[in-house]
Amino acid sequence: MSTSTATSGTAAKRGGSSAGGASSTHPRRGRRFLNRHAWWPYALPGVGLVVVFFLVPFLLNLRFSFTNWSSFTDVITWNGLRNFETLIDQNIFWPSVQVTLIYAVTAMVVQNVVSLPLAYALRDTNGINSFFRSLFFLPVLIAPVAAGYIFSALLSPAGPLNAAVAAAIPGFDFAWLGETSTAIFIVAAVDAWKWSGVITLVYIAGLNAIPQSFIEAARIDGANRLRVFRSIELPLLAPAVTFNVVVTLLGAISAFDIVVSATGGGPGNSTTVLNLAMFRQWGAGFFGTASALSLTVAVLVIVIALPLVSFLRKREVEM
C-alpha cells in the first residue's frame, strides 16, 4: 500500500467519524432545544385568548378612535383628534374622566378599609368565622346589575332605609341617589359592598401565610398587638395589599353595570362614568367617539397600573 493511499484512507475515516459525530450531535441539540422550550405548547392557548379577545379588539378600537365612523355615513375616514375635540366641546370627556376617577378611588378605598379589619377578625378558621366568611362572600355571587337595582330600591326616598331612619328621626327624607354631590360616592360604596368578599379572602390568605414564629418572637420581645400588626403583619401583608389595591382600582375604572342599574348616570351626569358615556355614544350611532372613550379607559388603566404596581412592589418584604 502506498503512502498516499494510507493517508487518504485515514482522512476518509476521520471524515466519516466527523460526519457521524455531527449527525449524532444535531439530534441532541434538537432534544435540548425542545426540552428548553417545552413550555410554549402550554402557553399557546393563553396567548391565543389574549390575542383574540384583547389585542385584536384593542388595535381595532385604537384605529376607529381616530376615524369618523358612525351610523350616518358609509365611508370611514381618518379624522385625527376630532373625536376627542367633539367630546370636549360637548362637555363629555373631562367630566366623565373625573367621575370615573372619583368612583374608582372611592371604591378602592372603601373595599380595602372595610376588608382588612374583616379579614383580621375572621382570620382564624372555626365554625363561626366560616359562617361569616360565607355571609360576606354572598354579594359576590349577585349579578352587578341586580345589585344596582336592589340598592336603587333600598335607597329610594320611599325605600326601607328612609323608613327605618324616619322611625328614629320623624320626618327624615333624603334622596340618597338623587343628590349630585353624594350619588357617586354611594354608588361606589355599592360597588365596594359587591366585591369586598373577594378582597377579604385575599387578606385572610395573606395573614395566615405570615409565619407564627415571627409574631411569637415579637411578643416575647414585648411588642403589643398594635406594634405586631404595624411592624410584622402589615409589611408582610404587602403582596396582598398590592393585589387588592390594583385589582379594586383598575376594576372600578371599568365600572358600568352597577352604575347603569343604580342611577343610569344621573342625577344629571354626576355618575356618568367613561364606560356609560361610551355606551351612550355607541347607542346614538357615533361609533368613532365611542371608540375614543373606550380608548381613554384603556389608557387610564395602563397609565395608572404601571407606576402603581411598581411603587407597591418596591414596598413588599420577602419572608
What pLDDT score was predicted for residue 1?
A: 43
Residue appearing with cell numbers 348616570: 265
Backbone angles phi, psi at 125, to 5 degrees: -90, 110
Q: Which residues contact 144 (CB under 8 A, 6 or more apart)?
A: 194, 257, 258, 261
What pLDDT score was predicted for residue 74?
A: 85
User: 226-250: string of b/e by CB count within 10 Å (b at 16+)?
Assistant: eebbeebbeebbbbbbbbbbbbbbb
What pLDDT score was predicted for residue 18?
A: 46
What pLDDT score was predicted for residue 276?
A: 96
Q: Which residues contact 266 (CB under 8 A, 6 or more apart)?
A: 183, 272
**Tens of pLDDT, residues 167-208:** 998 888 889 999 999 999 999 999 999 999 999 999 999 999
The distance of Cα 264 from the centroid of its chain, to the nearest Å, equals: 23
**Tens of pLDDT, residues 146-169:** 999 999 999 999 999 999 999 998
Mean pLDDT of 117-135: 92
pLDDT above 70 covers what percent of the chain? 90
**Tens of pLDDT, residues 294-319:** 999 999 999 999 999 999 988 776 65
**Tens of pLDDT, residues 67-86:** 999 999 889 999 999 999 99
What pLDDT score was predicted for residue 12?
A: 45
What are the beta bridge partners of residue 78? Answer: 67
Query: From residue 316, how far is each of 198, 243, 310 by CA, in Å?
Result: 21, 11, 10
Question: Between residues 19 and 217, which one has the greater pLDDT?
Answer: 217
Backbone angles phi, psi at 123, to 5 degrees: -70, -35
Mean pLDDT of 89-116: 96
Write out the three cell numbers for 113.
378599609
* 8 Å CB contact between 69 and 291: yes
> 192 burial class (0-12, 13-18, 19+ CB within 10 angstroms)?
buried
